[in-house]
Amino acid sequence: METVKRTKIKALLASEPGVEVLAKGWVRTKRGNKQVKFIALNDGSTINNIQIVANTENFDEELLKRVTTGASLAVKGQLVASVGSGQAVEIQATEIEVLGDCDPMRFPLQKKDTTLEYLRSVAHMRLRTNTFGAVLRIRNAMAYAIHTFFNQKGFVYLHTPLITESDAEGAGDMFQVTTLDLKNIPLDKKGNVDFSKDFFGKKTSLTVSGQLEGELGATAVGEIYTFGPTFRAENSNTPRHLAEFWMIEPEMAFYDLKDNMELAEEFVKYLVKYALDNCMDDLKFLNDKYDDGLIERMQGVIGIPFQHVTYTQAVEILENAVANGVKFEYPVHWGTDFQSEHERYLVEKHFQKPVILTDFPKDIKAFYMKQNEDGRTVRGMDVLFPKIGEIIGGSEREASLEKLEARIEELGMSRKNLEWYIDTRRYGTVPHSGFGLGFERLLLFVTGMANIRDVIPFPRTPKNAEF
Ligand code: ATP
Ligand code: MN
């Protein structure tokens, strides 16, 4: 077998016929008759299968019986022009080796449609479906495009810690990290947990955001981005929230809110265009199977400037909508945080394009956002997308030491764990801005999947950390 070097199926499908080839992969289907068997083989390099043609007279009957859905094969043969429709080339097999049998009775991924929900409980099969092959390849392409985008702009990839003693910003509930014996917790004189006995000598958690550390990076090397796992003990069992997700957080010195908005728009457009340019086979599959508006929606987003609107203007639009009979589950008035139904109304019904919301009431946003002159709003920005709602959250940061300290005071936050951060405003403070893109929210948008659990290989959600 190994006298010929193995070629991946993606490359085989793009090759000229007339050569001897070796393919390896898993059987998707087998059909045919007494004389000839047609085997659809897939190796994950592309959504497309290569067709293997096996004349039964050349192969042992027992061997061909072992060629079942899910079994792994090595196939040597001649790459020939295909007479059947649907593919340009196929392999006329001369040698077939079954690398791994797959008991058809125990491999439920037959032709019958298996639900996404069911698949989440069968890890090995889930990833081998067409759907997850497509999702995983798009996920990989997006990760690559993110690094490419920022590296072309000279941003430094900054690795921020996953274990932290700061609670970032109250961005979300945190998972505590401890080596204390939970059956025998040390207490101090007041009866509180004595964290000085814990591994780090203090209370620590998994990070909810790398931003605060990111600001230190930006005020040192200018422009940074983080790209790593983020954890939030969100007990909200929604199709848009995970307990462990990936986030991209660029942070830029000398950027004001306008620069920040421009970068965010250029960034998401670049990513969506990259997917359209490089993942079309997978997108077509997902478009046909799950969401027939997917490709059109993606093309729509890259084709037009995003709508800019302040929070205050958006509240007026939403209040008008309510006055005209639009029904929302949650009430909306100045001072409330928008729910995704409000965000989607603005994007899908009112403006019919992506929206960048800015200048939020300070009480619904984090302490570090730059305060506006009006004393009630801050220079935050949320990028809202069709079908998703918020995909990016960011802001210009408060650069003034006095104002930042006053806000921390006003909110009654503990300064003890924040002095290292406040120092950036003491020693050569600069205007700076940044934002966070939820990687899986982006993937929802570029795959058309409806549930965030289905765009990450091993989802973590309340009561579920399997595999
Ligand atoms: P939401 O209101 O949707 O919960 P948020 O305001 O908590 O979002 P940020 O703290 O601004 O979000 O986080 C930045 C980005 O991270 C969000 O715009 C979103 O894309 C993503 N994100 C936030 N929480 C989650 C989560 N639990 N799972 C997946 N992605 C998330
Ligand atoms: Mn949240």
Question: Which residue has the least CA distance to atom 1 on ligand 1?
Answer: 390
Q: Over the stretch 132-152, which tens digit does the pLDDT of each residue have?
A: 999 999 999 999 999 999 999
Nearest atom in ligand 1 to the alpha carbon of residue 232 is 27
Average pLDDT for 82-108 = 88
| pLDDT score at 170 | 62
Is residue 77 within 8 Å of 89, Cβ to Cβ? no
| pLDDT score at 171 | 60
Q: Over the stretch 157-178, which tens digit does the pLDDT of each residue have?
A: 999 999 998 765 566 689 999 9
Pocket, ligand 1, Cβ cutoff 6 A: 171-172, 232, 234, 241-242, 245, 247, 390-393, 436, 438, 440-441
Report percent pLDDT > 70 for the chain: 97
- The Å distance, Cα 172 to ligand 2 centre, comes to 6
The residue written with tokens 């506006």 in the block is: 372
| pLDDT score at 113 | 58
Question: Which residue has the least CA distance to atom 14 on ligand 1?
Answer: 436
| pLDDT score at 168 | 54
| pLDDT score at 110 | 56
Q: For the whole model, what pTM was predicted?
A: 0.95
Nearest atom in ligand 1 to the alpha carbon of residue 247 is 16
- The Å distance, Cα 454 to ligand 2 centre, comes to 19
Nearest atom in ligand 1 to the alpha carbon of residue 169 is 10
Q: Over the stretch 284-298, which tens digit does the pLDDT of each residue have?
A: 999 999 999 999 999
Average pLDDT for 199-214 = 95
Is residue 398 within 8 Å of 368, Cβ to Cβ? yes
Question: Which residue has the least CA distance to atom 12 on ligand 1?
Answer: 393
Output b/e per residue, 90-124; b: 16+ Cβ within 10 A: bbbbeebebeeebeeeebebeeeebebeebbebee
CA dihedral 349, 355, 359, 365 (to 10 degrees): 90
> 149 vs 232, 239, 304, CA distance in Å?
27, 28, 20
Fold of 9-100: OB fold (Dihydrolipoamide Acetyltransferase, E2P) (2.40.50)
Question: How far is Cα 399 from Cα 432, in angstroms, rounded to an integer?
Answer: 7
In the chain, CATH 2.40.50.140 sits at 9-100
> 56 vs 65, 100, 106, 264, CA distance in Å?
11, 20, 26, 58
Q: Over the stretch 392-405, which tens digit does the pLDDT of each residue have?
A: 999 999 999 999 99
pLDDT above 60 (res 112):
no
- Whole-number mean pLDDT of the chain? 94
Among 441, 449, 456, residue to substitute to test ligand 1 (most atoms within 8 Å of Cβ): 441
Q: Over the stretch 331-346, which tens digit does the pLDDT of each residue have?
A: 999 999 999 999 999 9
Fold of 130-173+208-454: BirA Bifunctional Protein; domain 2 (3.30.930)
pLDDT above 90 (res 439):
yes
